[in-house]
Structure formats: C-alpha cells, structure tokens
Amino acid sequence: MKALALVALLVYPASSFAGSSWQYVTSEATESYSIDYKTDRGQNAPEPAGFSLVREGEETVAKVYYLDASALNSYSYGCHLHGDHAHCHQEGKAEHGSYARLSSKYNAAEMAKAIEASLDIFVRKVAPESAIQSMKIWEAEEMIRFSIAYEKSGPKQEFLACHYHSGTEMDCHRKGNAGPGEPDKN
C-alpha cells in the first residue's frame, strides 16, 4: 500500500505543474465559484470575466473574476493538484472597482481550453512551463488574452491572444503587450 502511495506521488507530485495543470486549476476554481456564488446569492453565477493564477509554493491561488453590474468582483481559491485534477478551497472574496468587459464571445471552459494552446507556444518559443509564476486570463476584442509572468534570467512577461480558427481548435498569437481590458491590473 505504501509502495502504491509512493508511486502515485512520483507520478503526480503536487508541486509539478506539467501538462495542463493550469487548466485543471482553472476548471476546478470555476466549478467552486459556481457553487459558492449560488450558495451566497441563491442564483446561478454569471460567466467568469477572467482568471488570475498565481503559484505560491505547492499551491496555486486562483481568482475567478466576475461582473456584478459594472463592478469587477472575485472569489479567491487555494488550489492543489491531485493528478489530473485540482482541489480548491475558498480563501476570500474581493471587489476591484468598475470594469467593462470588452467582448463576451468565450466562456470559462473555452478560456481554460485556451491555456493549453497558449502554453504550447510558450514552451516551444519562450521558456519551460516550470518557469511560469503567474498568469492572468481575460477576454477583449473577441480574443482570449494571456499575460504570463515567468522567470528567465530575471522576471519577464509574455503576452498571447487566442481565438477559434477554422473549427474548434484554439489558435494563439504572441503579442508585444497585454492589450486592452486586463482586469484587476496592478
């Protein structure tokens, strides 16, 4: 039994963010947000306006942004990886002031899906996935936007914009700046 547990730890170390770990965290945080919002307000949660994912040791802190009228609010979660899924627990709620979503073409599942496409380019052209410290995801001008903070001979920033092209595959492009509409920018 101990041997099985050891094998599981070797195969799925909690601190490893290989593969689509950022995607797992995003999906699980979205699920938790939907439940928590309904519990708090008695109605279905609005579609997330974006995400902030920050790696803090073994944990990833995920903020799920949503619009309450014209104000940007968020639920925060501490998330841990367990194999090919994540467990998230709520760590708080916050208000971030007024915010205007610049387009609403994509839902949370599509934003999570775009993580894989953006990381495909990031890993091949920029740095290994293990260099990523945080990422922010939002939508503007019918593009899913990524701002990725990473470490490579000092702190650096990478920007990508993703969209559907010819079907259901996400197509991402590297950008020179974050573009418009970044939520909770500070």
Site membership for another protein, residue 114 (CB under 8 A): no
DSSP, residue by residue, 40-107: HHSSPPPPP-EEEEEEETTEEEEEEEEEETTEEEEEEEEEEEETTEEEEEEEEEEEEEE---S-----
128 membership: H or E segment, kind and range: none
In one-letter notation, the amino acid at residue 41 is R
Binding another protein (rule: CB under 8 A), the pick from 14, 102, 121, 127 is: 121
Q: What is the dihedral of CA 78, 186, 174, 14, to 10 degrees?
A: -20
Instruction: Tell me the window of 75-83, 98-106, 118-126, 146-154 that interacts with another protein (CB under 8 A).
Output: 118-126
Neighbours of 175 (CB within 10 A): 15
Distance between CA atoms of 97 and 119, rounded to whole angstroms? 30
Site membership for another protein, residue 165 (CB under 8 A): yes
Binding another protein (rule: CB under 8 A), the pick from 70, 173, 180, 185 is: 173
Site membership for another protein, residue 172 (CB under 8 A): yes
Instruction: Tell me the window of 10-18, 96-104, 128-136, 162-170 that interacts with another protein (CB under 8 A).
Output: 162-170
Neighbours of 110 (CB within 10 A): 16
Binding another protein (rule: CB under 8 A), the pick from 42, 57, 155, 167 is: 167
Binding another protein (rule: CB under 8 A), the pick from 48, 170, 182, 183 is: 170
Distance between CA atoms of 170 and 179, rounded to whole angstroms? 18
Nearest distance in Å: CB 172, another protein: 6
Instruction: Tell me the window of 16-24, 55-63, 92-100, 120-128 that interacts with another protein (CB under 8 A).
Output: 120-128
Site membership for another protein, residue 127 (CB under 8 A): no
- For residue 51, which of 147, 179, 158, 141 has the smallest C-alpha distance? 147
Site membership for another protein, residue 163 (CB under 8 A): yes
Binding site for another protein (CB under 8 A): 121, 124-125, 163, 165-167, 169-176
